[in-house]
Amino acid sequence: MPELPEVETVRRRLAPVLEGRVFEHVEISDARLTRPLDPFEVARELEGERVELVDRRGKYLIVRFESGRALLVHLRMTGSFLYANGGALPDDPHRRAVVTVDDGSDVAYRDVRRFGTWLLLEPDEVEAYVDARVGREPLEDAYRSKHLAERLAGRRAPVKAALLDQRTIAGVGNIYADEALWRARIHPLTPAESLGPDEVKALHRAVRAALRAGIERQGSTLRDYRLPDGGEGGAQHEFKVYGRGGEPCERCGTPIDKTRVAGRGTWYCPSCQRLGAAYAASRSSRQPLRSSRHSSV
């Protein structure tokens, strides 16, 4: 699933293609993309809008129009864009929409699993919609470890689960959460609230470093993610732990282990990322609570 580095890469590629251009013709061929709204109506509304900025918040791609409206695109699992400059788009059974802009070029949207969404928002709806769903941008200069500490405080959930919550940090998903926790030497099951100030600082640095490494390689192509020119990202070749079960940790040589956290496959180094005493204490104190809950059902 595309995370911040993948969506940011798409944004950077689409910005020069779309900014300043008018959506001349829009065809949306899959009603799931715009539901519950009618795809034909959404397409008609989009026609004539001039793009001011191709923006991003977390995993949302935001096409901001001069009118103040915005098209919010979420790629979910397998959404991607393909840009055809003058030439014809190749046949594609998974194409869901095509935007023709006023220089004659086409931008197609394809989605194999069809979980992606296009949402057209009015000027007064945009910021409130996004702010309700997405936390701070981790790569902004103003993002400090105190902001991360505020979002982790009081949360008993495993730190990995807290990182997957988009309101904790915008744009971190399963891949970059694992990568960041390895960089910070923090076990993914560590309760978020038990991290000390130094660990939070390390995690703050690690999240930013992992995301920057992903952007540098133009995101990671594991299956469906593609750049708008059809190319693939290369970040998957640089992963420290994600998908590397059994391979030696680059720091200590211990084989990378795999577990599940919050229902998601999770990779970590069992030597570099140890569960602290705080975790053991919280588990043993919670054990009776858990078993009594079970017996009551």
> Cα separations (Å) of 161 from 1, 185, 188, 190?
16, 16, 8, 10
Question: Can you tell me the distance from the alpha carbon of 255 to that of 267, in angstroms, rounded to the nearest whole number?
Answer: 10
Please state whether 104 falls in left (phi above 0), alpha (psi between -120 and 50) or beta: left
CA 95 to chain centre: 22
Check binding of 269 to Zn ion (CB under 5 A): yes
Q: From the CB of residue 208, how many other CB atoms can be counted at a distance below 10 Å?
A: 18
In angstroms, what is the minimal distance from the CB of 256 to Zn ion? 8
> Is 57 annotated in the active site?
no
Check binding of 271 to Zn ion (CB under 5 A): yes
> Cα separations (Å) of 178 from 10, 61, 89, 164, 185?
22, 23, 37, 10, 10
**Contact residue for Zn ion among 153, 252, 280, 281 (CB under 5 A):** 252
Which of 1-9, 99-107, 202-210, 247-255 is the region at the interface with Zn ion (rule: CB under 5 A)?
Answer: 247-255
What type of residue is 163? L
Check binding of 251 to Zn ion (CB under 5 A): yes
Which of 106-114, 140-148, 225-233, 243-251 is the region at the interface with Zn ion (rule: CB under 5 A)?
Answer: 243-251
The catalytically annotated residue of 50, 264, 270, 274 is 264
In angstroms, what is the minimal distance from the CB of 269 to Zn ion? 3
Residue closest to Zn ion (Cβ): 249
The catalytically annotated residue of 13, 21, 56, 59 is 59
Q: Rule CB under 5 A: which residues touch Zn ion? A: 249, 251-252, 254, 269, 271-272
Residues annotated as catalytic (active site), given as ranges: 2-3, 59, 264
